[in-house]
Amino acid sequence: MGKRMPEKMDYKKISKELYLPGRNPEIVNVPRMRFLMVNGQGDPNREDGEFARATTLLYGLSYTISMSGKGKQQPDGYFPYVVPPLEGLWWTPDDTPFDGKDKGELIWTLMIRQPEFVTEEVFRWATGELERKKPGTDVSGVLLRDYTEGWCVQMMHLGSYDTEDATVEVIDTFAQAQGWISAISLESPEGILRRHHEVYLNDPRKTSPEKLKTVLRHPIEMLSEEEKNHG
């Protein structure tokens, strides 16, 4: 019998509280994680738009890194793993409450989680590999950043992205009833602004809208006793 390959580590399985919440709102403390990030603006549904290019770039780099264990450039601390799902932080130019109806005005940060062994050195190697394999690829807009999101309210949204408003209202109402207030647009310890957050568990190109599963997450903070007394 041949040597059995080690099972790939899957973040969705070991951190179910982050990727597989229930259909009822819940409070979760999201720890520090490492991401590849791309910032952009515009309609995510445009086939030739900035969003599509950013998605392709993030997956290209993520799979280059995940396959690095099979080559001569295996990073220190490498282990086999499943590439985590695409995620997005979303906001609007005037920083009003998130509204996905005017999609051309949306500002976003797309990101894919990376294992801790992905250092700046590994990141530079991966960008070089992608440029070598796909000449003309512009990797200049990709960042490797740590992000501590902290306390959040979240819930699984089932169905089209265009029906997220109802789920957003549920999680915001729940958090408020529990004594929390919105922390959207406040900075994380790394200086990243906390935003309306979506984790995409399906590929919309291959999944019918009614079957899409998306984690919707909003950053929150607890009211102080003084604020409670003056509320």
Instruction: Provide the 10 A C-beta neighbour count for residue 198.
Output: 20
Whether the CB-CB separation of 183 and 221 falls below 8 Å is answered with yes
What secondary structure letter does DSSP report for 211? G
pLDDT mean across residues, the chain: 91
Q: Greater confidence, 11 or 99?
A: 11
pLDDT reported for residue 197: 98
- Say whether pLDDT at 64 is over 90: yes
Neighbouring-strand partners of residue 196: 90
| The predicted structure's pLDDT at residue 79 | 94
What's residue 76's pLDDT? 93
| Burial status of residue 219 (CB atoms within 10 A of its CB: 0-12, 13-18, 19 or more) | buried
Decide: 37 and 142 in contact? Cβ < 8 Å: yes
